[in-house]
Amino acid sequence: MPELVASTPGLYPLPDWAKDRLSSLKGHQKHDLIDGEESEAITAVYEEVREELIGDQAGLDLVVEGQARWDDMLAHPLTVHENVETGGIVRYYDNNNFYRDPVVTGPLTESGDVADELEATAERTDSLQAVLPGPYSLADLATDEHYGEGEFVEAVAEFLAGEVSQFPDHEALFLLEPSLVENPPTDGEDERASEAIDLVAGATDADVVVHTYWGALEEKVHAHLLDADVDAIGYDFVSEVDDNLYNIQEYGTKASIALGLVDGQNTLVESPETVRDRVDWITERLPAQEFDRITLSSNTELFYLPENRYEEKLATLAAAAAERTPEVNA
Amino acid sequence: MSRQAREQFRRADHENETFVLTTVVGSYPKPTWLNRVRELYEDPDHGFDEADWAEATDDASRLIANEHERAGLDVVVDGEMRRTEMVEYFAHRIDGYQFNGPVKVWGHNYFDKPSVVSEVEYGETWLVDEYEFTAGVTERPVKVPITGPYTLANWSFNEAYEDTEALAYDLADLVNEEIETLVEAGARYIQIDEPALATTPDDHAIVGGCLERIAKGIPEDVYLGLHVCYGDYSRIYPEILDYPVDEFDLELANGDYDQLDVFRDPEFTANLALGVTDAHDARVESVAEIKENIKKGLEIVPADRLTVSPDCGLKLLPREVAYGKTKNMVDAAREIEAEIDSGELDSRLRPASAD
């Protein structure tokens, strides 16, 4: 029987008190957003938030930092980089959310920004899970004015690998790759995307999960992704069931799998029973697969939710994984 | 509804034979004292009560409607002084909605995104009080902007309906009911705001289905507009021409009319409300500049089918800037009308040539 673990793709909502306090300290405009050189007062608020977010994850098997500081969502690792200029406010995928367009104007040298964030969380848990955008998505979210077509994704991958190599000890690394679904790579690009992911994954000994969402991967993109040396692929079973099942049935998947089973974009809270039923339903349809580990997760980042519902979603995931474990041991 | 219904908004003392209708999209900067008053009203430890709040919003509403009159607008709005955010305001008045707390839009900008937790139902009226008060303090016709059902559905969490479409259609029936009540109260210019269509253009058929429900049974003399902003219009044009509305209110000044070509082919058959001042630029455009923008509209429709307005709501601008833009826009429209009357300018212009 596979081991069931509860985790998330991170990017949590700020606690309501911090929304207010940071609004006052930082302001509401584009130039008020995080640039990597924030004041001590702002840093102190984020430290407090980090503590609280760790507490929220008491029942989860893997603990994320929560990325409360990521004003630009998945584009954050670039928008704080010294060789990146922030352009206009642009739409974040098909959501009513916006981020600053990172315009890469110089070499993507190592920055250490994400590693610094993870240090404090690493001291508080033995089950740290790091979260980064995958190289394909991060390149897709950015504008390249330095590298040129064909080289940019690899440059972003090398940058991310450099960041990972500075991370404190971590159990797992989630690479979020929604762009593989939302803006799929064309012929040739799909292979390069997979190689780029491989490059980032090679920078850590931890388990690497490439998490995809907002639908299912195109067949060929999925097939190429399986060539990357990662431990698991994550599938969004909230937004798309049939095509995800088809991909796994037809092409197989890694020895472990992550399942997006809880809706990160709806306040309707799933019960732990519902989540377990979904796991059973999916695994019954994949008789040829024997998983070492199944990670139960939300399909998307959780910042879309109000604070109360985000907390309830974490509790659902924790309970769903926990109640199954005794059965597994029995 | 009827596209000819716009003639009723020509003032008796309109100085030119040509009539380019001038109006605003809706929201307008709130006077600073109103924000202070809201804080008092929301403070449970303060004695400021419901009656005080009603008096304050009435004052603000009168102030802005009169400011619109002074700027010379043919059709005025009260600047949405009673409203907070464009989804929240309505969700508070519709049964079936629940609020859980703020969610992020971008940076530290949040909104209290509501959840639909049961079938939506029409409870209290939404805008009838706002309309009746405004109509009572101005001689000019008053436009009523209403957030459209697709945006109300798409910018809410949907816990109760099969999908956004089903929820949007139910909300459209409620919008229809509200419009009927507004029409009974005397409203003749209704504008449906659907900014969400710009974010999910593939859903244009759902918006069309919503508008069919909204327009059902609305009398001929009611003028119905649709406002869509900040998106790629090529993804919804020409499909939107099939919508049962008289006028499309479009944001084009912000992109310096780079999307104007979209509306040349096939021919634009509805009335056009063209954004001629940029709602996100705190610079007051000159009359001469705005006249050039109005001429862009004349490349799409003749003057008797053209309305001019700012790109979008003006609420984020300093109030004096909002006033300056509105005033210059009206002056520019009147000058264009006079030039058409005198034969100096054609009522319908050919596209500017590339050379």
Which chain A residues have a beta carbon less than 8 Å from that of B115? 267-268
What is the pLDDT, as a whole number, of residue A48?
A: 97
Segment holding B57, helix H or strand E: helix B50-71
Secondary structure in 3-state letters for chain A? CCEEEECCCCCCCCCHHHHHHHHHHHCCCHHHCCCCCCCHHHHHHHHHHHHHHHHHCCCCCCECCCCCCCCCHHHHHHHCCCCEEEEEEEECCCCCCEEEEEEECCCCCCCCHHHHHHHHHHHHCCCEEEEEECHHHHHHHCEECCCCCCCHHHHHHHHHHHHHHCCCCCCEEEEECCHHHHCCCCCCHHHHHHHHHHHHHCCCCCEEEEECCCCCCCHHHHHHHCCCCCCEEEEECCCCCHHHHHHHHHHCCCCEEEEEEECCCCCCCCCHHHHHHHHHHHHHCCCCCCCCEEEEEECCCCCCCCHHHHHHHHHHHHHHHHHHHHHHHC
What is the pLDDT, as a whole number, of residue A112?
A: 95
What is the pLDDT, as a whole number, of residue B354?
A: 46
> Which residues 241-280 in chain B show a CB within 8 A of chain A?
none
Question: Would you call B344 exposed, middle or buried from its count of C-beta atoms within 10 A (0-12, 13-18, 19+)?
Answer: exposed
Q: Does residue B95 belong to the interface with chain A, where contact is any CB pair within 8 Å?
A: no
Would you state the CATH architecture of domain B3-341? Alpha-Beta Barrel (3.20)
What is the pLDDT, as a whole number, of residue B355?
A: 47
Coil, helix or strand at residue B21:
strand
Coil, helix or strand at residue B192:
strand
Which chain B residues have a beta carbon less than 8 Å from that of A32? 107-108
Cross-chain Cβ contact A97/B101 below 8 Å: no
What is the pLDDT, as a whole number, of residue B69?
A: 98
Q: pLDDT band for position A323 (50/70/90)?
A: confident
Token pair for residue B108? Answer: 């530290």
Cross-chain Cβ contact B106/A89 below 8 Å: yes
What is the pLDDT, as a whole number, of residue A32?
A: 87
Each domain of chain B, given as residue ranges in start order, spans: 3-341
What is the pLDDT, as a whole number, of residue B353?
A: 55
Rounded mean pLDDT of A236-264? 98
Q: What percent of chain A has pLDDT over 70?
A: 98
| CA distance to partner chain A, nearest, from residue B145 (Å) | 21
What is the pLDDT, as a whole number, of residue A88?
A: 84
Helix axes B50-71, B32-42, angle to 10 degrees: 160
What is the pLDDT, as a whole number, of residue A90?
A: 87
What is the pLDDT, as a whole number, of residue A327?
A: 46
Please determine, for residue A329, whether its predicted confidence score (pLDDT) is greater than 70: no
Each domain of chain A, given as residue ranges in start order, spans: 3-329
What is the C-alpha to C-alpha distance for residues B325 and B331, in angstroms, rounded to an integer?
10
CB contact at 8 A, A273 and A317: no
What is the C-alpha to C-alpha distance for residues A175 and A90, in angstroms, rounded to an integer?
22
Which CATH fold topology does A3-329 show?
TIM Barrel (3.20.20)
pLDDT digit string, tens, across residues A265-302: 999 999 999 999 999 999 999 999 999 999 999 999 99
Tokens 């600053």 correspond to A100
User: What's the mean per-residue pLDDT of chain A?
Assistant: 95
Looking at the partner chain, which of B106, B159, B199 has a beta carbon nearest the beta carbon of A268?
B159
Q: A330 to each of A60, A287, A324, B87, how far by Cα in Å?
A: 21, 21, 10, 51
What is the pLDDT, as a whole number, of residue A324?
A: 57
What is the pLDDT, as a whole number, of residue A44?
A: 97
Half-sphere exposure of A102 (CA within 13 A, CB side): 28
| CA distance to partner chain B, nearest, from residue A39 (Å) | 16
Please determine, for residue A78, whether its predicted confidence score (pLDDT) is greater than 50: yes
Across B161-187, b (16+ Cβ under 10 Å) vs e yields beebbebbbbbbbbbbebbebbbeeeb
Distant-in-sequence, close-in-space partners of B33: CB < 8 Å, separation ≥ 6 = B56
What is the C-alpha to C-alpha distance for residues B132 and B211, in angstroms, rounded to an integer?
24
Please tell me the pTM assigned to this model: 0.90
What is the pLDDT, as a whole number, of residue B3?
A: 87
Return the number of other C-beta atoms located less than 10 Å from residue B20's C-beta.
25
What is the pLDDT, as a whole number, of residue A196?
A: 98
What is the pLDDT, as a whole number, of residue B154?
A: 94
Digitized pLDDT (tens) for each residue of chain B, 355 residues in all:
788 899 999 999 999 999 999 999 999 999 999 999 999 998 889 889 999 999 999 999 999 999 999 999 999 999 999 998 899 999 999 999 999 999 999 999 999 999 999 999 998 999 999 999 999 999 999 999 999 999 999 999 999 999 999 999 999 999 999 999 999 999 999 999 999 998 888 999 999 999 999 999 999 999 999 999 888 899 999 999 999 999 999 999 988 999 999 999 999 999 999 999 999 889 999 999 999 999 999 999 999 999 999 999 999 899 999 999 999 999 999 999 999 999 999 999 988 654 4
Please determine, for residue A164, whether its predicted confidence score (pLDDT) is greater than 50: yes
What is the C-alpha to C-alpha distance for residues A184 and A165, in angstroms, rounded to an integer?
28
